[in-house]
Amino acid sequence: MEKRGSFGSRFGTIAAVGGSVIGLGNIWRFPYVAGENGGAAFMLIYLIISLLISIPIMLSEFAIGRSTRSNPMRAFSRLAPGTPWKGVGYTGILCAFVILSFYCVIAGWALEFLGDSALNRFAGLTPGQIAGNFDTFVASGWRPILWTLVFIGATAFIILSGIEKGIERYNKILMPVLFLLLAGMAANAMTLDGAREGIAFLLRPDFGKITAKTVLEALGQSFFSMSLGMGCMITYGSYLRKNENVLRIGGMVALSDITVAVLSGLAIFPAVFSFGISPTSGPELVFVTLPNVFARMTGGYFLSILFFFLLFLAAITSSVSLMEVIVAYLSEEFPVGRKRAVALTAGTVAVTGSLCALSMIPSSALTVGGMNLFDLCDALSSNVMMPLGGLLIVLFAGWVLSPAKLRRELTGGMRYGTKVYPLVRFLIRFVIPVLILLLFLNRTGVL
C-alpha cells in the first residue's frame, strides 16, 4: 500500500475542507431553497442549525477519521472491530458515489452556460426563449454528457496529484478566487435599483414565516451544504495532522460555508428583485432565471461569465472531496494503487454520470419507480443516505466511540477546547440524533 498523505499546512487544511463544503449546495441550492422558505426567516434558522448541529457532526467525523487515519470503512472497522458498524463506512462511500453521479451533470451544465455566456448567447432572448434553450440543451443528450466527462476529467486531474500537491494546492488557489468573485458580485448586486428589497428579503426576518417545514428545510440544507454523512469529513479528517486544532478548523470551515451562502444570497436576490422576478423560482433560479437577469442588466455579459465560472469553481472543489472518498477506499483496501484507483473511479462515474444525463431526456427509459435516474440519485442521497449516515455517525461518536478517544481528538489531549467540549458532547449524544431523526422522517414522507 502506498504511503498515506496528509495536509501540509493549516491554511491548506482549511482551504481543502472548506472546498469540500463550499459547492453547488451554497450557490445553486441555497438561494432557491431560501427563496422558497421565507428568505431571512430561513436564513436565521439555517445559521442557528449550522452552528449548533452541523459543526458537532463535522467534529464527530473528524474524530473518527483522524483517530484511525483510514478511509470510512476501515475507520469503523478499527474502532468497532467485529461489529456491523463498518456498514456505516460503506454507506458513506456509496453515498459519495451516488451524489457524484448527478453532481457532475449539474457541474457540466455550469460549463455549458459558461460557454454560452462567453459567446453572449443570452443577449436579446426573452425569458421563454432562455427557458426553452435550457430544456433543449438538457434534452440533447450528447452535450450534457460531453461537459460531464470534461468535468470528471478535471476532477480526476486534481486528485491524481495527491493530497498535499493536488487537493490542498489547488484548493489554496481556487477558494480565495471563489470568495473574491462572489464578494464582488454581491457588492455589484447591492448597487442595483431596487436592491434594497432583495437585501431585506434575505436579512430582515419575518418570524411569522418560521414553521416546522422551515426548520426541517434549513436542517436539510445545512446537512447537504456541509458534506455531512457521506464520508467526506471522515476521509479529510484522516488527513488532518495530529497537532491541528479540530475545533478551530471546524468552526472556520463552518463560518466559510455560512459566509458563502450569505454572499450567494446577496449576489442573487437583489438582482432578482430589481428585475421583478419571483425569488421562489426553485431549482431553475440559477440556470433559467439568472441568465434572464444577466441579459437585461448593465454589465450583464461580464457578470454572467463570472457567475458561471464561480459555479464551476464551487462544483469542482466539492467533487474533488467526493471522488477522494472513493479513491481512498479503493487504494487502501485493494492492491490497485492511487493512480489506478483514480482511473477506476473516474471511469465508473463517467458511466453513471452519462446515464444520469441521458435520463433527463423526456422520452428516456432510464427511470425507476416513475423517477428518472438523475432525480433518483438526488432523492436517494439527500432524503435517505445522507441523513441516515449522519444519524449513525453521531450515534457512533456519542455512544460507541470511547469517551476518552473522542475527548482526546476534539481537545488535542486537553490542550484546547476544554470548556466547549462538554457542550459539544452533549449535543452529539442527546440533541442532534433526535433532530436528524426528524429530518430523516420528514425527507422520507413519514412526517
Q: What single string gives the DSSP state of each residue in 116-136? A: HHHTTTTTT--HHHHHHHHHH
Assigned domain for 122 exists: yes
pTM to 2 decimals?
A: 0.93
Assigned domain for 4 exists: no
Instruction: Tally Cβ neighbours within 10 Å of residue 303.
Output: 21
Q: How many domains does the chain have?
A: 1
pLDDT at position 282: 67
Distance CA 253, CA 177 (A): 16
Distance CA 384, CA 368 (A): 16
Distance CA 187, CA 192 (A): 10
Distance CA 121, CA 138 (A): 16
Assigned domain for 430 exists: yes
Q: How far is CA 297 from CA 27, 193, 194, 247, in A?
A: 20, 11, 13, 43
Q: What type of residue is 23?
A: G
Distance CA 298, CA 282 (A): 25
Assigned domain for 2 exists: no
pLDDT at position 4: 62
Q: 367-368 and 371-372: which strand pairing?
A: antiparallel
Assigned domain for 5 exists: no
Domain of 148 in residue numbering reads as 10-443
Q: How far is CA 98 from CA 30, 257, 258, 361, in A?
A: 20, 23, 25, 20
Q: What type of residue is 93?
A: I
Assigned domain for 3 exists: no
Assigned domain for 112 exists: yes
Give, for all 447 residues of the chain, the pLDDT tens digit.
456 668 878 888 888 898 888 888 888 888 888 988 889 999 999 999 998 889 999 999 999 999 999 999 999 999 999 999 999 999 999 999 999 999 999 999 999 999 999 999 998 888 789 889 999 999 998 999 999 999 999 999 999 988 888 888 899 999 999 899 899 988 988 888 888 999 999 999 988 888 887 888 888 788 888 989 899 999 999 999 888 999 999 999 999 999 998 999 998 899 888 888 777 776 677 888 788 888 888 888 999 999 999 999 999 999 999 999 999 999 999 999 999 999 999 999 999 999 999 999 998 999 998 999 999 998 888 878 888 898 999 999 999 999 999 999 999 999 999 999 999 999 999 999 998 888 777 766 777
Are 201 and 279 in contact, with CB atoms under 8 Å apart? yes
Cα 386 from chain centre: 12
Assigned domain for 401 exists: yes
pLDDT at position 1: 47
Tell me which residue of 423, 409, 400 sits closest to 62, measured CA to CA.
409
CATH number at residue 44: 1.20.1740
135 contacts: CB under 8 Å, gap ≥ 6: none
Distance CA 396, CA 377 (A): 26
Are 428 and 398 in contact, with CB atoms under 8 Å apart? yes
Alpha helix (H) ranges present in 275-415? 289-296, 300-333, 337-358, 373-379, 386-395, 403-411
